[in-house]
Every structure is written in structure tokens, then in C-alpha cells.
A = this chain, B = another copy of it.
Amino acid sequence: MTSVYGGSGDPARSIELLWGLREPPRRGPKPKLTVDGIAAAAIGIADAEGLAALSMRRVAAELGVTAMSLYSYVPGKAELIDVMVDRVVGENGVPDHEPGGWRSRLERVARQAWDRYLRHPWLLQVATSRPVLGPNIIARYDYELRAVAGIGLSNIEMDLVVSMIADYVHGAVRTAVELAQAEQQTGKTDIAWWEERAPLLAKVFDAERYPVAAEVGAAAGEEYQAAVDPARSFEFGLARLLDGVAVLVERAARGETA
């Protein structure tokens, strides 16, 4: 299950943390930890065990302090997650200039997001409307928009295209992550799991009433040796999506309004 976690406890404080503002006066005992170190430990836990396993006590234990010590560095868990997000968004740097046409650039944007979600599946569960605008998030937003800049789209259309890609990738990678997690947690591959349930399913499933589902389900099972093949699904969906954008771009090139 997923519950919607959102960062953004106090956005102003989060922004200060993210941009390294508010250097504190130099009194009192020397800090044992740093915000970056705490975020790194938290990211490690979330990557390995999921966002549900991420607790202040758990992070503190990892760092050899008590839970309450973390509150000297970070106002709360929500702001810590804000920092985590900005860190992983900037993980491998944000490219400056990208060669190729809009299609290959957009494809790269989508694949980078896909890879990032696979590396950090907990990102799927972090609410990103009203994102806290850390340095990396801003840089990446600019980078993504540049993929569709200068090809005849209006500013609004550029924003819509980038949002659409983001929405689709989120949905697609979620399927992939859920499949992987299900296999890991049950120790059974998808095909083994479904075969195990086949006898019970046969009792309740009326193939005559639902012939299309029966045929397609069987075909998919044979083809993938699983109920789904998320990577292939992503490739297929991305290709269709970009085909659809191409129609828009051509229309714009001919001077038509959508």
C-alpha cells in the first residue's frame, strides 16, 4: 500500500535548508551531524526499505544519535523529505545542453525520470504539487522545458507537454515498482503467482461472459511470462505519447492552433 506522504511542513524553512541559507551563529557544542548527512542516511533507508520504514528513530539509529537530536538540524520529518527529494533530483547533475531534436530530448527527459524512480521508488509516494523549489528541482524544470523550447509551441503547450510526460512516467513506473516489490515480498515471480491462483480463479471466472479478457489475458501471460512487462509497457506508451506530441508539433509548424 501507499499512503500519500508529502513533504512541505514549513516551506519557508525547507527552502532555507535546501539553499543552505541561515548559517547559524557559532556557539554551543559542535554539531555531530549535517543536514546533508542526515538526508543521505534517510535516502539510504528509503531506497532499501521504503518510505514506510523511514522513521526519525530509524534515521537517528543509523547515525548513532537519538531521534530528538535530528530536530536540531531539521524542523521535522516533512522538511527532511523535502531535502531528500531535491537531493535525488539533482543526483547525477542536470544537463546543460542536449543535442538532437525535440523527440530525442523528450525521450531523454522521460527515461531520466524513469531511472530516477527506479533508483528511488519512494519518490512515487511524495506529493509534488506545490513542490519546495530547491536548486535541483528548479534546474531540472528548466532542463525539461528546454526539451520542447523553440519548436513552435506556446509557453502553455510546453508546460502541458512536460506535465503529460511526467504524469505518464509516474503512472508507468509505479506499475513497474509494484511488480518488483510484489516479487520481492512474496518471493514468487508474477507467472508463478498467477499460476498458483489459477485453480481458484477458474472457479469464479466465466470465460464465456468475458471472452476478450480471457483471450487477451492468456496472450499476455504467454508473451511476457508474466501478467505485465513494465519496461516494454513503458517503451510502448512512450512511443505512442511522442507520436501524439508529433501531431501537435506538426500542426504548430503549419501555423494551426490546437
Contact = CB atoms under 8 A, between A and B. Distances in A.
14 contacts: A2-B2, A4-B124, A130-B190, A133-B201, A135-B204, A154-B219, A159-B220, A160-B233, A160-B237, A164-B172, A167-B175, A168-B168, A239-B244, A247-B247
A167 B164 contact: no
Contacts of A155: 215-216, 219-220
Contacts of A125: 1-4
A73 interface: no
Interface in A189-244: 190, 193-194, 197, 200-201, 204-205, 209-213, 215-217, 219-220, 223, 227-228, 232-233, 236-237, 239-244
A222 to B, nearest CB: 9
- Which has the most chain B C-beta neighbours within 10 Å: A5, A19, A159, A161? A159
B240 A245 contact: yes
Given A155-B216, A240-B248, A228 B1 contact: no
A194 B132 CA distance: 11
Contact of A193 (B7, B126, B130): B130
A50 B156 contact: no
Interface stretch (A27-35, A37-45, A57-65, A139-147): A139-147
A129 interface: yes
A126 B227 contact: no
A169 interface: yes
Interface string A241-255: 111110110000000
